[in-house]
Structure 1
């Protein structure tokens, strides 16, 4: 049993907590490849790249330059690394002009992007501005060449805008224009691949991107809710990593557990949840029954995904993805304008998950729920629904982490941790604060009770081989 028991006043917690300020991180570090073991993304230096994404699907289409700059600067401050944006946007981006009155295509023809000579006078000049500004702030753009409706749904003359021929041409053009920048390519766009013709369009666009950019850019596929790219393209050589849309619900069971299923596929490819539940979103699209999600609802998927094998995570806010403001038609009842949503608590808490993972070795980290001793009543521990416990560790046995979504005592199998002494820490996902719980003997199994932050509040138990002298969780890991 963890040694610090009973209620601790906030002042005591503060005294036991370590500051979580980080050293200034280098700018302009973008993902360019995949690790040899197929588990995480890497930069040009070969070091792991942590994908902490935000969904701003309509940013190109609905923002002014000043608004885009405000949004991007905020996300950079909050330590996001990727912003997911769509070139041909969902809300009639083909026919409704952007903030400057520009459309992306001539006569709805994907082979004829509407490009004019000179700066700042066409749709793509605005896309250039957003991509370049994001890159200058150290943010990678997760760039969808088109939303799924334009290759899936009837748009023009009873047919989609895209076919295999024009998709490849468009892919070449957009690949040339943004190749070499800090960009990850995301095909798909919230649609299922339902026939060979649609599959051919996606594969043609992937070929075009490769030809236009020259080489092997990072490409993935954004699927329909509850699905994953692996269903259609796992073994495709152009699919660099799998993306899931685990969906706008709050249960691990039947939803977020699928991240582990993609992690276990062969050949091994990194996996990311590109669209979990958004903050302030109608839960399961049924606000009348379930209400709107809160910060706790978006924190749980962060740790569920990370601890079950994801190479990062994507956050979203229901007002921000649609860039909603009062003069626009709302989709599914956003609660506040996007400018207010920038300061939603869940967005500010995402960085603590990133800091936690980066404070321990990443390259050897694996999911391992066998660390959690199954209770007499398994639905209690490891639990089910929104109260599921999950665990991760490294192959070398130097550390382990257990995510406890609630304040329920649980037991841990310590055999996977090497060394006779174990350093015990508690990490607060809401604040990044850390409590040092001292050392215990590695006796094979031990029982822990989460810190008294509250019965319905989450926490992370971090167990280190004491001989490694790792820093407090959330603090930068020395590269020495």
Structure 2
């Protein structure tokens, strides 16, 4: 193969063609051992509200933020982390290929992602490390949410930088990633905690997305991870490459993330949405240790608030896990718990109960319905949220501090109703009352006060729905 002749007056074009030639000549990696038929989000549902896997089945996006997984952990450590998250029924692991410090600090295997910080010259040894993480996740039934790069590499704004990407090399880099992981269970997440502030930023993201599409033939969905209290929809909702929206509600007590979800849910055209970075467990509120640290109660509230507002899934996060903080490593923003200990913090054990609840009833016709609640839904830790099947055959009501509430039963179906109280801490469901469907009825959760959150499940008694606790598969 020969390089096409290009005039010396076109250095940018010459560099682009040279990069394409280098990638075309790069050796093809050997096929990995086949794992299970791991579900990954491959399609959007017909009503444009939910994600479907490669077989057309509902895909519940239960993510964990492991931004520094590839950059900071060796294979033994990465395997330990991935096995735990698979055991806890997570479905997506969000991690970064080109991490914030990854261009200058080698990973434990001694590799960096790019040769000479050139996005058109990926380092094969480093990408063998990426392959290992993606393949091990696949073996465990996990989809990898791959961020091609952290945001400081296309909009420094703050952080390390440098800005490495242009529209030209972003397209080449995206095509390389798309080809390399074409047959793997991945979802592409552009962005990386930085805002799109001008047309150049948008052009870089568009080119990277187009490169990914070219490389993988459109086999994987693409989304965008924004900065705090923003949504991908703010600047990108009408982009044809953006398959679903992500917001980041941020790290503070009582952030009403349901407002971001409700705003995205109301946009046209409809696209699935979720909170990809709510308040992390063990994170100092508003980045100040003196404010106190978020705990499992906060992570539960953010999950149920978002899901009941219409989210197609949810992402959990732990401040110590995303950075894989350990003794001898400088803590970022007052991290305080070594990551192996943080691995078993209670919030990470409770997310599977939210997934189990959603999957216990028909998924694809679920709608948010705050009008189920009669009267004031409350504020802050007393907030009450509601969702139901579009046909009224079931409803979920979340009381975030055990406050009593009244439900308009006329919005449900069936002559008779039955109830369950689901404990979101343990996943245990307690059978409640059965009664005729008429008028308004008050419900009092089993306990009350901060940390005493409960989910009321109301079913049409004629439907053969199973108890809401525990995953069906």
TM-score (norm 1): 0.88
The 5-angstrom pairing of residues 53-132 of structure 1 reads: 53-90=63-100, 92-115=101-124, 122-132=125-135
1:135 is aligned, of 126, 138, 152, to 138
Matched, 1:278 2:280: yes
**Unaligned 5+ residue runs, structure 1?**
1-25, 116-121
How far does the alpha carbon of each residue in 1:297-317 deviate from its partner, in whole angstroms, 9 at most, with x for none?
110001001100001100011
**C-alpha contact 2:275 2:314 (8 A) present in aligned 1:** yes
2-structure distance, mates of 1:312, 1:260: 14
**C-alpha contact 2:373 2:386 (8 A) present in aligned 1:** yes
How far does the alpha carbon of each residue in 1:31-54 deviate from its partner, in whole angstroms, 9 at most, with x for none?
211111111110122110000000
Give the match for residue 427 of structure 2.
432
How far does the alpha carbon of each residue in 1:321-353 deviate from its partner, in whole angstroms, 9 at most, with x for none?
001111211101112111111100000000000
Matched, 1:316 2:317: yes
How far does the alpha carbon of each residue in 1:231-265 deviate from its partner, in whole angstroms, 9 at most, with x for none?
11111111010001011123254x43111110111
Give the match for residue 392 of structure 1.
387
1:353 alignment partner, SS class = helix
Give the 3 Å change call, closer, same or farther, for CA 447–391 of structure 1 in structure 2.
Answer: same
Mean alpha-carbon deviation: is it higher for 408-417 or for 469-478?
469-478
How far does the alpha carbon of each residue in 1:62-84 deviate from its partner, in whole angstroms, 9 at most, with x for none?
01000000000000000000000
**C-alpha contact 2:193 2:227 (8 A) present in aligned 1:** yes
1-structure distance, mates of 2:361, 2:465: 7
Q: How far off its partner does 1:475 sit? A: 4.3
1:193 is aligned, of 191, 196, 212, to 196
1:32 is aligned, of 24, 42, 46, to 42
The 5-angstrom pairing of residues 209-248 of structure 1 reads: 209-215=212-218, 217-248=220-251
Give the 3 Å change call, closer, same or farther, for CA 457–172 of structure 1 in structure 2.
Answer: same
Give the 3 Å change call, closer, same or farther, for CA 252–467 of structure 1 in structure 2.
Answer: farther
Mean alpha-carbon deviation: is it higher for 159-168 or for 125-134?
159-168
2-structure distance, mates of 1:83, 1:199: 25
2:180 is aligned, of 166, 177, 180, to 177
Give the match for residue 266 of structure 1.
268
Q: How far off its partner does 1:89 sit? A: 0.5
1:320 alignment partner, SS class = helix
Q: How far off its partner does 1:287 sit? A: 2.4
2-structure distance, mates of 1:426, 1:285: 35
Give the 3 Å change call, closer, same or farther, for CA 65–261 of structure 1 in structure 2.
Answer: same
2-structure distance, mates of 1:256, 1:398: 23
Q: How far off its partner does 1:453 sit? A: 6.4
**C-alpha contact 2:244 2:271 (8 A) present in aligned 1:** yes
**C-alpha contact 1:471 1:477 (8 A) present in aligned 2:** no
**Unaligned 5+ residue runs, structure 2?**
1-35
Q: How far off its partner does 1:455 sit? A: 5.9
Q: How far off its partner does 1:216 sit? A: 5.1
**C-alpha contact 1:79 1:351 (8 A) present in aligned 2:** yes
How far does the alpha carbon of each residue in 1:196-251 deviate from its partner, in whole angstroms, 9 at most, with x for none?
11111111100110111112520000000100100111111110100010111232
**RMSD across aligned C-alpha pairs, in angstroms?**
1.6
Give the match for residue 118 of structure 1.
none
Give the match for residue 7 of structure 1.
none
Matched, 1:421 2:422: no
TM-score (norm 2): 0.90
